Structure 1
């Protein structure tokens, strides 16, 4: 399975159903360059995500950090963490992606003690899984075993998956680091979410830097610093990217046209919309529309 077009709601939450028919889990291969945008766009989900790089290298942005993940290594991305991924040095990166509901990792009796504290920790948005580490290689092998079990569906494969998940999680928490619960970090994350949510609610209107800053109870300069630190971009550039992201579903409607879509998502100039769309998507809105219509028929 290859997810080529990640659907995201107005709060950047991924809409992909991360589950098999009977289990709250999904495991598939992703080729970054095959995504419609040429990269995996910024999003988040409730599920834990485990990544195993099979070929090439990728740059993951997770909250405010940027991490290069090498071929043969992996990554744990915590529940609720904003993240995106780009191919590095045109390596045609391919990775195995395992998404699993935190409530499925362990029984409910063990969840409060061994899972919830790790979701709430402010210093664990991700963990690098190094294949050279004694614990890292078995974890990556277990991810592949889960993928194989889902594909082959041998008798009792569901139980085999739960065994592998328990093994993975035990190694993660045994070989991680002391958890922290920093109140300042929590406040910063909350302000960042408030600003993002304000943009998502008002992107169709005229958006000023002052408005975004006010939503986070920050000055203009602090607002810019937050976006640079967390999202590696400026507030207004983020608005442009989000408007383009919102335009994708509108362009897929058979009776839509580029000018109407441009104004619907907050651009006041069709030519400016086309220019920005091309810079983000590497194609014009019309070419994208024709591409999606071709997928539909």
Structure 2
């Protein structure tokens, strides 16, 4: 199953229901460049995420950090962490994505001891999974087998999946990662989500830097530092990029015209919208609309 358009709420929490079987998990192959944006946009979810790169290379951003994941290797992304992905150098990256509820990786009696401390740790936004490490190879092999189990749906396959998930989590713990809990880091993450939530609620209206800073209970300068450090951009540039992102699905509607779409997503000038769209997408909004109409 290829999720081509991420649905997120106003805080960037992904709204996709992660359930491809009668279990609180989803496992599917994703071709990055087939997403409506050409990349996997910034989002977060409560589920734990395991990634296995089966073709090409991907550049992931998790919270403030950026890293390249090579073919054959993988990635663990912790619950609640902001993340996005794009293929590296047009490598045609394809990866298997396994999302699972933290409550399902181990029996309920073991959750408090062996799961909760890990999803609360502020120094564990992600782990690079190296196929050449014993624990890493075990995890990546189990991801592949879970994907196969979901496709084949043989007798009692749900029990086999549950056993594989316990095996994955055991190997993650065997890695022996020292856990840390920093209240300030947790507060930073919450403030960032509050500012993003405010932008996604008001993007169609006029937005000032003061408004964004107020949403995060920060000064203007501190607000800018948050965006530069975590998202590698400025608050107002992020607003522009988000408006363009929101315009993509609108432009694909047969009855939509460029001027209407520009105003619907918060631009007060059609020419300004066209200029920013061209710089972001390497084509005009009208050319994008025609391209998508022909593609369908």
Q: TM-score, normalization: structure 2?
A: 0.93
Matches within 5 A, 1:208-223: 208-223=208-223
In 2, Cα distance between the equivalents of 1:42 and 1:170?
A: 29
Which stretch shifts more, 286-295 or 138-147? 286-295
**Where does structure 2 lack aligned partners over 5 or more consecutive residues?**
none
Q: How does 1:30-49 map to 2 (within 5 A)?
A: 30-49=30-49
Please report how far the alpha carbon of residue 240 of structure 1 lies from its aligned counterpart in structure 2 after TM superposition. 0.8
Match of 1:245 in 2: 245
Comparing 175-184 with 251-260, which one deviates more in the overlay?
251-260
Q: Is 1:82 the equivalent of 2:64?
A: no
Per-residue CA deviation, residues 22-59 of structure 1 (Å, 9 max, x unaligned), is 12211111121222222111111121110011122111
Residues 217-243 of structure 1 show CA distances to partners (whole Å, capped at 9, x for unaligned) of 222222111111111111111101111
Is the alpha carbon distance of 1:198 and 1:44 closer, same or farther for their aligned partners in structure 2, counting shifts above 3 Å? Answer: same
Report matched runs for 1:177-196 at 5 Å: 177-196=177-196
Stretch of structure 1 that moved more, 32-41 or 127-136: 32-41
Instruction: Number of aligned residue pairs: give it.
Output: 296
Structure 1 SS opposite 2:103: helix
Q: 1:45 & 1:275 partners in 2: Cα distance? A: 33
Instruction: State the shift of 1:287 in Å.
Output: 4.0
1:160-199 pair list within 5 angstroms? 160-199=160-199
Matches within 5 A, 1:226-245: 226-245=226-245
1:10 equivalent to 2:10? Answer yes
**Alignment partners' CA distance in 1, 2:240 and 2:125:** 26
Q: Secondary structure at the match of 1:193?
A: helix
Aligned position for 1:148: 148
CA deviation profile, 1:194-220 (whole Å, cap 9, x unmatched): 221221222222212222222222222
- Partner in structure 1 of residue 108 of structure 2: 108
Q: CA deviation at 1:90?
A: 2.2
Change (3 A) 1:251 1:82: same
The SS at the match of 1:255 is: coil
Q: Per the alignment, do residues 135 and 80 of structure 1 end up closer, same or farther by CA in structure 2, a change over 3 Å counting?
A: same
Write the deviation string for residues 85-108 of structure 1: whole angstroms up to 9, x where unpaired.
111122221111111111221222
Question: CA RMSD, aligned part only?
Answer: 1.8
Alpha-carbon deviations, 1:142-171, whole Å to 9, x = none?
000000101111111111100000000111
Unaligned runs of 5+ in 1: none
Residue equivalent to 2:126: 126
- Mean Cα deviation higher: 251-260 or 66-75: 251-260
Secondary structure (helix, strand or coil) at the match of 1:111 reads helix
Shift of 1:293: 5.2
Shift of 1:290: 4.5
Contact 1:38 1:281 in 2 (8 A): no
2:44, 2:82 within 8 Å by CA — same for their partners in 1?
Answer: yes
Structure 1 residue runs of 4+, over 4 Å off?
290-296
Distance 2:286 2:10 in 1: 23
Distance 1:17 1:291 in 2: 29
- Describe the shift of the 1:25–1:294 C-alpha distance in structure 2 as closer, same or farther (beyond 3 A): farther
Q: 1:185 Cα deviation (Å)?
A: 0.7
Question: Aligned to 1:102, what secondary structure does the other structure show?
Answer: coil
